[in-house]
Amino acid sequence: MTRHGLILIGALVLGGCVTAAPPPPAQPTGVAELRVTINTTPDYVRQTIIARAAARGTAGTSPNARTIVLEREIPETTAALAAVCGPHQPGRRVRVVLTTDRAGPRTVVTERRFLLDRGGARCAVLLTPEDVAAGNRSLAELKAQAETQVAGR
C-alpha cells in the first residue's frame, strides 16, 4: 500500500471518530425571560397558573399581588446551566417567577427562571433554544386555558 493510501485510511478512521462524537450541549441564547399576552384579567390568569401548577403537583406562592413563584428541586444540572451557574450541588432548585401585569383588558405574563443553591446563591438562567421553545409552548397552553375558561363563563 502506498504512503498516500495509509494517510487516506488514517484520515477516514479518524474522521469516523470525530463524527461519532456527541453533539455539543445546547448553548444559552441570551434570552432570560419569556412573555405572553392573555385576553383576561391578572386575577384570573393567576388563578389559572396556580391551578395548572397544582395539577402537576407543584405548589405556588405569591410574594405579592402580581407574582407567582413555582419551585422544584432538580436532580442534575445540564452542561449548559453548569457553564453559567456552576456545577450541580445537592438540593439545587429551579425557581420560576411568573409576573402578571395589567395591560388594559389583557394581562402580560413574564416568566423568568433562576437556579437556587442551599447556600443562598441565585443564578439567572439564560434559556437554550429548547428551553425557549418549551417555555413558549407552556405559556401558549396557559393562554389557551385561561382564555377558553373565561369565554365559558
The per-residue pLDDT for 28 is: 55
- Sequence-ordered alpha helix ranges (H) in 1-128: 3-19, 42-55, 79-85
Q: Mean pLDDT in the chain?
A: 82
Q: Count CB neighbours of 68 within 10 A.
A: 21
8-state DSSP, 109: E
- pLDDT band for 4, please (50, 70, 90 cuts): very low
Rounded to an integer, the average pLDDT of 49-73 is 92
CB 136 within 8 A of CB 144: no
Q: How far apart are CA 80 and CA 28, in angstroms?
A: 7
The grid cell for 70 is 413555582
In this prediction, residue 81 carries a pLDDT of 85
Q: Grade residue 89 by pLDDT with cuts at 50, 70 and 90.
A: very high
Average pLDDT over residues 57-84: 91
Contact present, 48 and 152 (Cβ < 8 Å): no
Is 33-152 a CATH 1.10.1040.10 domain?
A: no
Residue 12 has pLDDT above 60, yes or no: no
Percent above pLDDT 90 for the chain: 59
Give the other-Cβ count within 10 Å of 55's Cβ: 8
pTM over 0.85: no
Task: Output the pLDDT for position 102.
Answer: 96
Q: Rounded mean pLDDT of 77-104?
A: 92
Instruction: For residue 124, give every residue at least 6 positions away whose Cβ sits within 8 Å of its Cβ, in sequence order, or none.
Output: 32, 112, 113, 114
Q: What are phi and psi of 81, to 5 degrees?
A: -70, -40
